[in-house]
A and B are shown apart, each in its own frame.
Chain A
Amino acid sequence: MSFTLRSVKVPPNSVSLQEARSRTFDFFRSACRSIPSVMEIYNLHDVATPSQLRSTIASEIRKNAHITNPKVIDMLLFKAMEELNNIVEHAKQRHHIIGQYVIGRGGLVQDLGTKDQGISNFLKNFYDSNYF
């Protein structure tokens, strides 16, 4: 199923923000559609649910919500498409997916316990690193 998702040639630039917006939705939909197969390929059933992955995709997109230049959006979409292709083509390995999209930037050990509550920002930063 190689290169199925990528449009054969580079599409013309979006003329308006409106067009770029709809392209973004198109991308989101195609990404969501590939979630079941991705979970199958990378055997993610015991670490994530489809809705978790969907919200990860959504949050990755929302990270760039402030961008209004259609050219930049096109570029980001292109990169996103490339990434999606790599994932669907099994060009990555399981730990890549888990590291990037399941665990995310929070890190492996997430101290969600109660012991960090009520401590100052200084101490929180201190536990993280020397440089703050």
Chain B
Amino acid sequence: MGLGLLASRALRSSRIFTSPNPRNAIVRTIVSTPELHNPEAAAAAQAQPDPPPTDLPGRTSVGGARVHFPNPEDAIEVFVDGYPVKIPKGMTVLQACEVAGVDIPRFCYHSRLSIAGNCRMCLVEVEKSPKPVASCAMPALPGMKIKTDTPVAKKAREGVMEFLLMNHPLDCPICDQGGECDLQDQSMAFGSDRGRFTEMKRSVVDKNLGPLVKTVMTRCIQCTRCVRFATEVAGVQDLGMLGRGSGEEIGTYVERLMTSELSGNVIDICPVGALTSKPFAFKARNWELKGTESIDVTDAVGSNIRIDSRGPEVMRILPRLNEDINEEWISDKTRFCYDGLKRQRLNDPMIRGADGRFKTVSWRDALAVVAEVAHQVKPEEIVGIAGQLSDAESMMVLKDFLNKMGSNNVWSEGNGMHPNADLRSGHLLNSTMSGLEKADIFLLVGTQPRVEAAMVNARIRKTVRATQAKVGYIGPATDFNYDHQHLGTGPQTLIEIAEGRHSFCSALLNAKNPAIIVGAGIFERNDKDAIFSAVETIAKHGKIIRRDWNGLNVLLLNAAQAAALDLGLVPESGKSIESAKFLYLMGADDVNLEKLPSDAFVVYQGHHGDRNVYRANVIFPAAAFSEKEGTYENTEGRAQQTLPAVPTVGDSRDDWKIIRALSEVAGIWLPYDTLSAVRSRIRTVAPNLLHMDETEPATFSALLKPEFCQKMSLTPFGAAVENFYMTDSITRASKIMAQCSALLSKK
């Protein structure tokens, strides 16, 4: 603060306090709500008709929350506004109020973060305590009489609001948080109707947090939620609190970006508009958006998301609460990939002409050409590959179409050429994501969960933080945001552990709930069966698969993988690409087509003009996940559904409809006309895909598998995901993701 400013402040405030006009002075001290003028007296007046706390109807808790009593003896009873509630010991006053159905205003408290207790918005009155107490930080004690609605509490809130608004800019009309801002809402509910501050508001320099998070630091109310999120959940020590008093600021200590795959979540937890989404800045107001509850498909986790759209455009993607999968976070890829849905889209059926250029044609002509070619090749030469983002319905129809054509060469990319689809336990995250929290030791084999499945990584980190679980890792050197032991880089270490020669073995044997997580990158290795049998040997020795605990997990990479294996999309021969004459790519961009014969006819059905479109002869435009209803099975075997949020682009069609239409033109007529007809076909193959939102545990464990004696090669494990931000056709088309990965590579 400059000396001049200091002087002028002093002058001004002295002018106010020594105001010569006494009437003016009275006006300045008006408290907005007159009855709060003397809170103690008012409280006393109110205390008289206190209703007796007997025979009161039960109240419903906030958001229908249920209390779980880990130990019934530990239940204590407190009184919230005269209503008795039973809560487990150790709950805070704020939680007790929530159980009683009273929502306490708060800024800094967040149920998934540690308690800071620095905003003071949650003040309530507790009988026999001399001052109002911050309910979020105060443990509830037996028999405590909590009053949330008294004049003292109201006045305390009003006072806190006034202090918070003292330095908060009056930005609401141009603030992106407007309409969903905690401060805005709570100042409407609890604030005073006028301010008493005439000084200048302080201003704070904005920080650069990278291409995802926009900062307007003047709006910050120093709740430190973002700092706690970064250190506790995201596991990066980048954000911090600098300075003291009115000079207090949130910032990165040195000029650097926030490098976390979860950084976008600070946008959601910031109660004000200090941290907002940079790509969404000034694009829309939240009340004009239509929310569609859907599923994320950029990785195999299947995070629950809400797609906010306006007209035909996806405006933003937000997380949806699902305790079993993503809690309330999502990864940056999930949150910001949506601008890829507007770029590089295929919108018309196209045929490559003699000059090598694509020509737009009608669906009629495109289907006729493909049907004709498909009949000219031998059935064995027909190959179909489903892409990473395919839904179960279209994979089912693709498989049926190819089978009817006489070919059985159909698989989903990422599953390798010899997938083992017989036992579901061989490709699922058997302990489930929430089950991972019970594990006390992790062995990660060839997987980098931080980039492969950020939400799984967040779970592991949560477990490691909570219980000091040990983590052992085999694979190429990589970044972890929790303590881990790098055991080795390749199968050599795995063999050592399997044979009991490694130092990690004893820890594994002593653990109660050991968890092994094998990366799906290993599916692509030729010695995958040998690696899996080594892992199973470890599992046998370590008693990892028991009746009450199945710790042998496979972490898949793509949204389509699990459903593809459940539906039996397994290639007949490992060399089918080399001999293919008719290749049907259903959004498959990551298969290597180098070995494809040059005279092969390639049909590309998909929503983005991505890698393999360059090799295609015919293009069928299809719908992206935000535009269709489709079933996806996540890596723990949970079937979930996407819902259409926006209309399809141009002349594109849903994937299953395209294949259904093609089958009719080709004269083999698949018998499904509606999505429910396709689903009843799925019911005969993999009924678990129709049990929405449920995990279907694998019935047979992997230990039933016959022994393999395949030679294991000693080439070290590779990284399955090279660039976290660009893994599929949508994210590769996204400009925001491109900026992120440019920063990532510069670092």
The chain A residues found within 8 Å of chain B, CB to CB, are 115, 119-123, 126-127, 130-131
- Is the pair B673, A126 in contact by a Cβ cutoff of 8 Å? no
The 5 tightest CB contacts between A and B, nearest first, are A126-B661, A122-B673, A130-B653, A130-B648, A123-B664
- Please tell me which one of the listed residues A115, A122, A130, A131 contacts residue B664 in the complex, with CB atoms under 8 A apart: A122
Pick 5 A–B contacts, CB within 8 A, sort by A. A122-B664, A123-B665, A126-B661, A127-B364, A130-B623
- Is the pair B661, A123 in contact by a Cβ cutoff of 8 Å? yes
Given the complex, which residues of B lie within 8 Å of A122, measured CB to CB? 660-661, 664, 673
How distant is B347 from chain A, measured CB to nearest CB, in Å? 12
Residue interface mask B352-368, A partner, CB < 8 A = 1: 00000000001110000
Given the complex, which residues of B lie within 8 Å of A123, measured CB to CB? 661, 664-665
Residue interface mask B646-675, A partner, CB < 8 A = 1: 011000111001001100110001000100
- Is the pair A119, B363 in contact by a Cβ cutoff of 8 Å? no
Given the complex, which residues of B lie within 8 Å of A127, measured CB to CB? 362-364
If A120-B669, A120-B673, A123-B665 are given as contacts, then 5 extra A-B residue pairs at C-beta distance below 8 Å, sorted by A number, are A119-B664, A126-B660, A130-B652, A130-B653, A130-B654
How distant is A27 from chain B, measured CB to nearest CB, in Å? 40
Q: Provide the bound-state CA to CA distance between A119 and B364, in Å.
A: 12
Q: Provide the bound-state CA to CA distance between A122 and B363, in Å.
A: 14
How distant is B242 from chain A, measured CB to nearest CB, in Å? 54
Q: Provide the bound-state CA to CA distance between A119 and B371, in Å.
A: 15
Q: Provide the bound-state CA to CA distance between A131 and B362, in Å.
A: 17
How distant is A112 from chain B, measured CB to nearest CB, in Å? 14
Given the complex, which residues of B lie within 8 Å of A130, measured CB to CB? 623, 648, 652-654, 657
Query: Which B residue's beta carbon lies closest to that of A122?
Result: B673
Given the complex, which residues of A lie within 8 Å of B363, measured CB to CB? 126-127
Q: Provide the bound-state CA to CA distance between A120 and B677, in Å.
A: 16
Residue interface mask B459-482, A partner, CB < 8 A = 1: 000000000000000000000000
Which chain B residues (332-363) contact chain A, with CB distance < 8 Å?
362-363
Query: Which B residue's beta carbon lies closest to that of A111?
Result: B364
Given the complex, which residues of B lie within 8 Å of A126, measured CB to CB? 363, 653, 657, 660-661
What is the size, in residues, of chain B's interface with A at 8 Å between Cβ atoms? 16
Q: Provide the bound-state CA to CA distance between A95 and B648, in Å.
A: 30
Query: Which B residue's beta carbon lies closest to that of A116?
Result: B364
Given the complex, which residues of B lie within 8 Å of A120, measured CB to CB? 664, 669, 673
Which chain B residues (628-661) contact chain A, with CB distance < 8 Å?
647-648, 652-654, 657, 660-661
How distant is A130 from chain B, measured CB to nearest CB, in Å? 5
Query: Which A residue's beta carbon lies closest to that of B628?
Result: A130
How distant is A122 from chain B, measured CB to nearest CB, in Å? 5
The chain B residues found within 8 Å of chain A, CB to CB, are 362-364, 623, 647-648, 652-654, 657, 660-661, 664-665, 669, 673
How distant is A111 from chain B, measured CB to nearest CB, in Å? 9
Given the complex, which residues of A lie within 8 Å of B648, measured CB to CB? 130
How distant is A109 from chain B, measured CB to nearest CB, in Å? 10
How distant is B642 from chain A, measured CB to nearest CB, in Å? 15
Q: Provide the bound-state CA to CA distance between A115 and B664, in Å.
A: 13
Given the complex, which residues of A lie within 8 Å of B652, measured CB to CB? 130
Query: Which B residue's beta carbon lies closest to that of A127?
Result: B363
Q: Provide the bound-state CA to CA distance between A131 and B652, in Å.
A: 11
Query: Which A residue's beta carbon lies closest to that of B654?
Result: A130
Q: Provide the bound-state CA to CA distance between A115 and B665, in Å.
A: 11
Q: Provide the bound-state CA to CA distance between A122 and B664, in Å.
A: 9
How distant is A125 from chain B, measured CB to nearest CB, in Å? 9
Q: Provide the bound-state CA to CA distance between A130 and B652, in Å.
A: 7
Q: Provide the bound-state CA to CA distance between A131 and B644, in Å.
A: 11
How distant is A44 from chain B, measured CB to nearest CB, in Å? 30
How distant is A56 from chain B, measured CB to nearest CB, in Å? 28
**Residue of A115, A119, A122 ringed by the most chain B CB atoms within 10 A:** A122
How distant is A121 from chain B, measured CB to nearest CB, in Å? 8
Query: Which A residue's beta carbon lies closest to that of B672?
Result: A122
How distant is B57 from chain A, measured CB to nearest CB, in Å? 48
Given the complex, which residues of B lie within 8 Å of A115, measured CB to CB? 364
Query: Which A residue's beta carbon lies closest to that of B673?
Result: A122
Given the complex, which residues of A lie within 8 Å of B657, measured CB to CB? 126, 130
Q: Provide the bound-state CA to CA distance between A103 and B585, in Å.
A: 40
How distant is B386 from chain A, measured CB to nearest CB, in Å? 20
Q: Provide the bound-state CA to CA distance between A115 and B657, in Å.
A: 20
Given the complex, which residues of A lie within 8 Å of B669, measured CB to CB? 120
Q: Provide the bound-state CA to CA distance between A127 and B661, in Å.
A: 9
How distant is A70 from chain B, measured CB to nearest CB, in Å? 41
How distant is A103 from chain B, measured CB to nearest CB, in Å? 19
Given the complex, which residues of B lie within 8 Å of A131, measured CB to CB? 647
How distant is B41 from chain A, measured CB to nearest CB, in Å? 66
Q: Provide the bound-state CA to CA distance between A120 and B657, in Å.
A: 13
Q: Provide the bound-state CA to CA distance between A19 and B702, in Å.
A: 84
Given the complex, which residues of A lie within 8 Å of B661, measured CB to CB? 122-123, 126
**Residue of A115, A121, A123, A131 ringed by the most chain B CB atoms within 10 A:** A123
How distant is A106 from chain B, measured CB to nearest CB, in Å? 17
Q: Provide the bound-state CA to CA distance between A122 and B658, in Å.
A: 11
Q: Provide the bound-state CA to CA distance between A131 and B648, in Å.
A: 9
Given the complex, which residues of A lie within 8 Å of B653, measured CB to CB? 126, 130
Q: Provide the bound-state CA to CA distance between A39 and B664, in Å.
A: 45
How distant is A78 from chain B, measured CB to nearest CB, in Å? 35
Given the complex, which residues of A lie within 8 Å of B664, measured CB to CB? 119-120, 122-123
Given the complex, which residues of A lie within 8 Å of B647, measured CB to CB? 131
How distant is A132 from chain B, measured CB to nearest CB, in Å? 9
Query: Which A residue's beta carbon lies closest to that of B652?
Result: A130
Q: Provide the bound-state CA to CA distance between A122 and B678, in Å.
A: 14
Query: Which B residue's beta carbon lies closest to that of A120?
Result: B664
How distant is A116 from chain B, measured CB to nearest CB, in Å? 9
Query: Which A residue's beta carbon lies closest to that of B621?
Result: A130
**Residue of B363, B647, B661 ringed by the most chain A CB atoms within 10 A:** B661
Given the complex, which residues of B lie within 8 Å of A119, measured CB to CB? 664
How distant is A120 from chain B, measured CB to nearest CB, in Å? 6
Q: Provide the bound-state CA to CA distance between A130 and B629, in Å.
A: 12
How distant is B148 from chain A, measured CB to nearest CB, in Å? 50
Q: Provide the bound-state CA to CA distance between A122 and B660, in Å.
A: 9
Query: Which A residue's beta carbon lies closest to that of B657?
Result: A126
Q: Provide the bound-state CA to CA distance between A78 and B673, in Å.
A: 44
**Residue of A120, A122, A126, A131 ringed by the most chain B CB atoms within 10 A:** A126
Q: Provide the bound-state CA to CA distance between A20 and B362, in Å.
A: 48
Q: Provide the bound-state CA to CA distance between A20 and B422, in Å.
A: 74
How distant is B666 from chain A, measured CB to nearest CB, in Å? 12
Query: Which A residue's beta carbon lies closest to that of B650?
Result: A130
Q: Provide the bound-state CA to CA distance between A119 and B657, in Å.
A: 15
How distant is B513 from chain A, measured CB to nearest CB, in Å? 48
How distant is B369 from chain A, measured CB to nearest CB, in Å? 14
Q: Provide the bound-state CA to CA distance between A120 and B647, in Å.
A: 24
How distant is B456 from chain A, measured CB to nearest CB, in Å? 35
Q: Provide the bound-state CA to CA distance between A123 and B363, in Å.
A: 10
Given the complex, which residues of A lie within 8 Å of B623, measured CB to CB? 130
